[in-house]
Structure 1
Amino acid sequence: MTKPSRTYRSELRTEQAAATRRRILEAAGACFAESGYGRTTQAAIAARAGVSVESVKAQGPKRDLLLAAFEQAFTGQEGRQPLAEQDQLAAAFAIENDDAFLDTGLEFMAAANRRAYALWRALTSAADSDAEIAPVLDGILARRRKDIESAVGLIQRRGLLAAGVRVRRRVAAELSFLLSPEGYQQLVAESGRSHREYLDWIRSMVRATLERMEP
């Protein structure tokens, strides 16, 4: 039997390291969501992930773990690329039927908020106490506004909304409010609505917003 090539061994190590990082970020996200940023320790993350504390430390400082855990929870993968480049949303944007296009996009946002609303709460709270997190949070909010404006621009190009920068910005601001993680927390986590009820609600509200400004 031939020995594995160096390339194969290198690829295997890379895959194993990536899997370990994903597991650590999932554990970190669960800890931050349950205990908050300040009370979460690297030891707690390590215990939850089933790895050593040294393995957790190797992933970076705690604030970096919080940010990466949020990215992974919200989009399903780590990284700060535009939402339009995420596989599910990219597929939604390519759907020809307008109703299916809107429904698929809203299903993505509802699922993202379900995964990440508690982490978003931890992130915004941490920004109040950690000066290095605050500007990163500002960047996340700026990207969110840009992502939603881009989505509204696509809605305009599909003829579902009147054209114009003023309309795009106004509708983007309203959708940013409707689709926020805070909304999921208030309606589902605090008020007891089901995820399905939340999804039905954002569908009706988003459609009402678009219909109010029909082309």
Structure 2
Amino acid sequence: MAEPVKTRPYRSEVRAEKAAATRRAVLDAARGLMVAKGYDATTVAEIARVAGVAMDTVYASVGRKPELVVAVIDMVLGSSDEPIPAQQRDYVVAIRAARTGQEKLHLYAASMGVVMPRTAPLIDALRRAGETNDDCAAAWSALVDRRARNMLLFAADLRASGDLRTDLDDREVADIVWSTNAPEYYLLLAARGWSTERYVRLLEDLWCRLLLEPGPAT
């Protein structure tokens, strides 16, 4: 009786590597096109063409356009070739390692100056698309809720520094940061002619004044 043919382990490894390479190609194409042209002007067909794959492969490897833009946003936020969890982002790691509340707020404001010019237009376009598309509305709502949850973690980290005002609870701190680091806030100021540098200075000054206990009088 003939022995059953055994599948060689390397075959599944090769397939996994090819699938990962395809996903990276799709994500790289989506990021390049959406950051350069915007969400509205970028089509899935164009992403597929730049990635060198079929449209069905784009859908299978990442998802439809709402999933693609969320992946791109997470790539920009994480400065990586793949979407990564918030706690693994370089600026989040640096903030958590900082010792004082002022240092943490300085680092966070600076990080907003890096990521907001590239992510705010994409998030706003997703919000507008959600006015007529349920999938886009759900993706945008999930981003908003996720940011609110992350701000609660940030508030707890600030609390651990011992510098946070005691008359504000963590939810209040989180809501203040959540509202002022919103893409809409950045876009409103940009429309009024504010530079990114001025926006960063405003965030740091605003947060330090509102959230931290005042220092000793001089």
State the identity as a percent.
19
**Distance change (3 Å), C-alpha of 1:192 and 1:46:** farther
- Pairing 1:21-170 to 2, within 5 Å after superposition: 21-30=26-35, 33=38, 36=40, 40-47=42-49, 49=50, 51-54=52-55, 56-59=58-61, 60-77=63-80, 78-79=82-83, 81=85, 83-163=86-166, 167-170=169-172
Using the TM superposition, give the Cα deviation of residue 191 of structure 1 relative to its aligned residue in structure 2, in angstroms: 1.9
Highest CA radius of gyration, 1 or 2? 2
Give the alignment partner of residue 22 of structure 2, picking from 13, 17, 20.
17
Q: Distance in 2 between matches of 1:202 and 1:85?
A: 23
Using the TM superposition, give the Cα deviation of residue 204 of structure 1 relative to its aligned residue in structure 2, in angstroms: 0.8
**Distance change (3 Å), C-alpha of 1:141 and 1:50:** closer
**Distance change (3 Å), C-alpha of 1:14 and 1:131:** closer
Q: Please say which of residues 148-157 and 10-19 is displaced more in the overlay.
A: 10-19
Structure 2: runs of 5 or more not aligned = 1-9
Structure 2 counterpart of 1:196 = 197
Q: Please say which of residues 97-106 and 120-129 is displaced more in the overlay.
A: 97-106
Using the TM superposition, give the Cα deviation of residue 172 of structure 1 relative to its aligned residue in structure 2, in angstroms: 1.4
Number of residues of Structure 1 aligned to a counterpart in Structure 2:
203
TM-score under structure 2 length normalisation: 0.77
Q: Secondary structure at the match of 2:134?
A: coil
Q: Please say which of residues 14-23 and 192-201 is displaced more in the overlay.
A: 14-23
Q: Distance in 1 between matches of 2:143 and 2:30?
A: 18
TM-score under structure 1 length normalisation: 0.77
